[in-house]
Chains A and B, each alone.
Chain A
Amino acid sequence: MQAQVLLSELRSNLVSHVIGLPDNASAALFSLLNSKEEPRLLTVTREGEAFAIASGLWVGGKNPIVLVQNTGLLESGDGLRGTIIRMQIPIVCLVTYRGYSTIAKAGLTPVRGSVSPEFLSRPDLDSVALMTEPTLKAWGLSYDFLLKPEDRYKVSAAFNQAKALSQPAVLLIPGELTSG
């Protein structure tokens, strides 16, 4: 998916702030956000901060999103639990899915069941990819995928779902956002 397309979707959903940390997959979107006034980009030092800052922004009347890598999602554990989940805050979280291609290549998608130490230590698999969906399920977070350009409608759907349920909604981004 093009970063510009995703940014257009964020704008059409009136996103005020993007709080997050860049990775290779989200670099094109961060680059775009850095050059724009709206939505405002705030880069954090650790991903757990992003969920707390976004919660404060929402309580203050804004409409932020969180943009982090799946490694950062795991790092965020208690920050995520204790803020947007505990506060039932309808924030959309964009999570880039590092290692998705490694598990897809091994025929392990969609990820099902428990993850064993044997899989988690396999050098051909990125263990964070194996952990991502089971972790989201364990935290009770609903999620969907932004796999191809036609999936852009899922952005608005995620916002609508978050508002309807008064809960965070996650959109997983398995591929690299392109700048073209």
Chain B
Amino acid sequence: MLTKDEFIRPLAHHRKNEIVITSMGMVRPWAKHSDHILDFAVADSAMGHAADFALGVALARPHQTVICLNGDGSMLMNLGTLVTIAQSGAENLVLFVIQNECYEITGNQPVPGATQIDYVLLAHGAGIRRAYFFDDPQVYSASLPDLLHGTGPVLAAVRVEAGNEKPLHRSQAEPARYLRPSLAESAHSFREILSKQDEPDIVSS
């Protein structure tokens, strides 16, 4: 099993100009390592809809890799999306399923089938050919370049220890800039940022 830090730090290190979409218990931990203009949090929204939102972004921007950090509780709410992802032909989507086996935001209650679910098998069954499971930090870290740069869609289930994250409140108290505005402001400004990505000489922060 990985710690959150062992999961996030190498991913933040390997991430260049990929879009990163976070949800639920991964929002603040990722924001501690990254305050990039291409970070977006599907939080204060609808649980279970980060992966399909990320699919939409990936379909809109086929030449840019989209990374989604989704929890296992969120994934279970919307397993049909795995089929939609597979049939969509989105080759630029990398979907991480963070297997902490619980609903962390609400007090770590176990998700249904917590220790029995095989997301690789589910992904393969849905038609996602590139699906992997990691519970060793070294193997995971060494695999990241291939995960991020190969042809997708990719599903990577990573066993990560549970923490005690609380819900996002989108206020000035949030450390990362992109977590402070309302979800609507954040969505509209992110669209603007992405449209500027298409212009030459984009400067990333």
Contact = CB atoms under 8 A, between A and B. Distances in A.
Interface of A: 17, 19, 42-46, 48-49, 51-62, 64, 78-79, 81-83, 86-89, 166
Interface centre among A46, A57, A60 (most CB of B within 10 A): A60
Contacts of B56: 19, 52-60, 64
Name B's interface SS. helix
Contacts of B195: 61
Given A43-B87, A49-B78, A86-B44, 6 more contacts: A42-B88, A52-B53, A53-B53, A55-B53, A60-B56, A61-B198
Interface in B26-68: 40, 44-49, 52-61
A7 B56 CA distance: 21
Contacts of A56: 52-60
A78 B46 contact: yes
B81 interface: yes
Chain B residues touching A, range: 20 to 34
Contacts of A62: 59-60
Contacts of A59: 40, 53, 56-57, 60, 187, 190-191, 194
Interface in B152-205: 183-184, 187-188, 190-191, 194-195, 198
Contacts of B48: 48, 79
B52 A49 contact: yes
B112 interface: no
Contacts of B83: 45
A15 B151 CA distance: 28
B46 to A, nearest CB: 2
A44 B79 CA distance: 11
A140 B87 CA distance: 33
A89 B184 CA distance: 8
Given A46-B80, A53-B56, A60 B61 contact: yes
Contacts of A55: 53, 56, 187
Nearest to A51: B49
B84 interface: yes
A42 to B, nearest CB: 6
B57 A57 contact: yes
Contacts of A82: 45-47, 49
B45 A61 contact: no
Identify the interface centre among A49, A62, A166: most chain B CB within 10 Å of its CB: A49
Interface centre among B84, B183, B195 (most CB of A within 10 A): B84
Given A57-B59, A60-B61, A45 B84 contact: yes
Most buried by B among A49, A51, A59: A59
A43 B89 CA distance: 12
B46 A79 contact: yes
Contacts of A45: 80-81, 83-84
